[in-house]
Amino acid sequence: MILKRIAGICFGVSFLMAIVLFTNIGANLIPKSIAKLVFLIVGASALLLNLLSFRFGKHDANFNFFYWLGSLIVFIGLAAMIMHLSYAFYIIIGGMTIVGVSFIYTPKIDGSTSEKSDLLDDEL
């Protein structure tokens, strides 16, 4: 579980650097070249740590994997946008679509969970 906490901290730092890069908020505190480098290194390490520990999350392993895959594609799109590559916007949209589908996915679709009744639902 320590990997999940470290990955969460890395995601937070990466998110702050993305705010600096894409909105120029705090750009007078952190130079953009440093923010780019920190965003790429810390974001990639967060994704790698989540890949190593996605089966141990509080959600279903399939949900965690699809969410991780979508996050990876969004990260690649953001890195492409930082480097001013073409089609970066479409990569980001594709990753966000995968993340959205992962939220729609429920374990009941594949039958991996059983229907559990609550104590108050049971008849006496």
What are the pLDDT digits (tens) for 71-109? 889 999 999 998 889 999 999 999 999 988 888 876 554
Distance CA(46)–CA(52), nearest Å, equals: 10
Q: pLDDT tens digit string along 3-54?
A: 878 888 998 999 899 899 889 888 888 888 899 999 999 989 988 888 887 6
Please tell me the pTM assigned to this model.
0.70
* Cβ-Cβ contacts under 8 Å for 12 (sequence gap 6 or more): none
pLDDT of residue 115: 56
Instruction: Give domain limits for the chain.
Output: 1-58, 59-113
